[in-house]
Chains A and B, each alone.
Chain A
Amino acid sequence: GAGVSQSPRYKVAKRGQDVALRCDPISGHVSLFWYQQALGQGPEFLTYFQNEAQLDKSGLPSDRFFAERPEGSVSTLKIQRTQQEDSAVYLCASSLAVGSTDTQYFGPGTRLTVL
């Protein structure tokens, strides 16, 4: 069956450009997470959605980062005025329900390079 998909897989942006990263979770999954993975590090939490509600955005590093999930399925992570320190792999994960024991299923990630 279809897993979590993300697009684009690779994105190169000039410093100061805005970018939008898309996540298509597994159909029917209630929970959706965004993570940032820097080179040589583990994923770091950015934000969490339960259906269309953004319940936690405590991990977003600045107000240049914005995420939405308007219809409770597809989600978009937007970064405005990109900076070099934004270069990382952005991972999306979804899980079926809302329990803290639920398994998260990850997409392949979007590798963002800011020049």
Chain B
Amino acid sequence: AQSVAQPEDQVNVAEGNPLTVKCTYSVSGNPYLFWYVQYPNRGLQFLLKYITGDNLVKGSYGFEAEFNKSQTSFHLKKPSALVSDSALYFCAVRDRTGGSYIPTFGRGTSLIVHP
């Protein structure tokens, strides 16, 4: 079984400050991990993914995420937040074992960046 937890329903940050959106996962094997962003009335847009290799993954719009196997985490980060980053962020996991193609998504975290 695979699962994802996004422990914060909402994250508030001032524009220009660094932001972190947390994600922890559980899989029986090794994970593939994804972050998506959802703007109002829009579908999910892909930000970045961890497959293998370097634990620090860089993605779109200046976002990055760090895979931490010991803590089973994949937190999303950005050094300097923009008001336009305000949106809903979803973490997703797929268990690498058996090549599962079905991802499990977290409940989402609402990021609010204040001017």
Interface residues in chain B, defined as those with a beta carbon under 8 Å from any beta carbon in chain A: 4, 32, 34, 36, 41-46, 49, 51, 90, 92, 94, 96, 99-108
Contact = CB atoms under 8 A, between A and B. Distances in A.
Given A44-B105, A103-B49, A108-B41, 13 more contacts: A31-B101, A40-B108, A41-B107, A42-B90, A42-B105, A42-B106, A43-B105, A93-B44, A99-B101, A100-B99, A100-B100, A101-B32, A108-B42
Contacts of B44: 43, 91, 93, 106
Nearest to B98: A100
Contact of A103 (B46, B99, B108): B46
A51 to B, nearest CB: 14
A106 B43 contact: yes
B109 to A, nearest CB: 10
Given A42-B108, A100-B96, A109 B102 contact: no
Nearest to A91: B43
A91 B92 CA distance: 15
Contacts of B104: 45
Interface residues of A, number: 25
A41 B92 CA distance: 13
B108 A41 contact: yes
Given A43-B90, A101-B51, A109 B43 contact: yes
A48 interface: yes
15 contacts: A41-B107, A41-B108, A42-B106, A45-B104, A59-B102, A91-B44, A93-B43, A98-B101, A99-B99, A100-B96, A101-B51, A104-B103, A106-B44, A108-B41, A109-B43
A77 interface: no
Contacts of B107: 40-42
A101 B106 CA distance: 18
The residue among B36, B51, B100 with the most chain A CB atoms within 10 A of its own CB is B36
Contacts of A42: 4, 90, 92, 105-108
